[in-house]
Amino acid sequence: MNKLALIDVDGTLVSATEFDETKAKVPEYINYWNKQTMNAEVFYEGIKQLKRLHALGYVLIVLTARDTTCKPFTVKKLKEMGVYHMITGVWHRPVEMNGLAPSHVKDVLIPRIENRYKNKFVVAMEDSNHAIMKKHNIVVIDANTYNKGGK
């Protein structure tokens, strides 16, 4: 199997949808927020980077701190952007991890995903959590170089 590429969503492929961490365990708020993610602005430079990794033969794995209740919205957005067919797996934060820092969630999930695919991540498209990526020896493509201006 080819090398794995970790792809973040918010702040990387699309604009971040403002989230109130104090309501992270309130189901009504989560349902509202999940629907709002569909309004996120697409970062076309992020899409271009994702397509480049795909063309280079990387196995693209989406890992987002959005919880599992958001998966239908994430998949729908990826389809709207025309990239879902390139992605091998879409992983979300388990609901029981709501309220924990996204960096902690990704730190826990990276080894699980690597075990599942029997391979290591070598590159990540991320706007934050860089320290966690480096801890796992993953090279970061810093989304902050293109996500501030949007398109």
Taking the domains of the chain in order of start, what are their residue ranges?
4-145
Residue 125 bridge partners (DSSP) = 7, 141
CATH of span 4-145: 3.40.50.1000
pLDDT in tens, 47-105: 999 999 999 999 999 999 999 999 999 999 999 999 999 999 999 999 999 989 999 99
How much is the pLDDT for 149? Answer: 54
Residue 141 bridge partners (DSSP) = 125
